[in-house]
Amino acid sequence: MLAAIGLGTTSLGFLGMFDASRYVSPGLATVIANGQPLLAAVLAHLFLAERLGPMQRLGLLLGFLGIVVISLPQFSDQTRASFAVGVTYIAFAAAGVAVGNILMKALGRRVDALVATGAQTLIGALPLSAGALLIERPAAVVWSPMFLASLLSLALFGTALAYWLWFALLARVPFSRANAFTFVTPIVGFAIGVVFFGERLGIAAVVGLLLTAVGITFVERPQPIPSNGARSTILSMRKE
């Protein structure tokens, strides 16, 4: 399972997202990649027996709609060939991450989160390293202080720490409720742009952020507890 998580989340996830940037606009990549929580919710329903209430399903759709609205200004015309290649890369990335997340949840507390993070990252890095040696030119990398600082930040905080916290979280929280916070990524990105780069939020970004926030709120709302009669009916149906 750790090998499958590494190949899905790390290998396919990073390969798809990094290579897709050569073929499609950032807006389109963001929209397709953030379809992952919807796909993962379906997989969680099938394989983890997690049930979402109507408000939670509506929340996932609103969160995704918010991502679409946020990304609208970034769309640009693509040639048909590059569009197909880019969408394929992102689709593989989203599918790999969704399957990897389901397997992470299935592991639960059977594996220490730190050990699981190290194992899946190492396994997932092997195909990427082999591909880099065969296709790219590692010797052409300029190991400047800025490059090293960026590399260490991405490796330690953006990857290792994030995966470790994610593993630990999934062992304690229902999967779909945790995965809905994937929609927060663009919000954090916009906040960084505003604070550090002086970017301004357009009307589409504001509307999209509000939709995403409302969607996450709906997903995180606890489902109503059925009455005693309804609970007895549900239990008897499960026994049958």
> What are the average pLDDT values for consecutive 10-residue runs of the chain, which has 240 residues?
94 88 71 80 86 86 85 62 76 90 89 93 95 88 93 92 92 85 78 76 81 85 55 44
Range of the domain at 84: 2-239
Tell me the torsion sign for CA atoms 136, 160, 3, 30: negative
**pLDDT given at position 144:** 94
The number of folded domains in the chain is 1
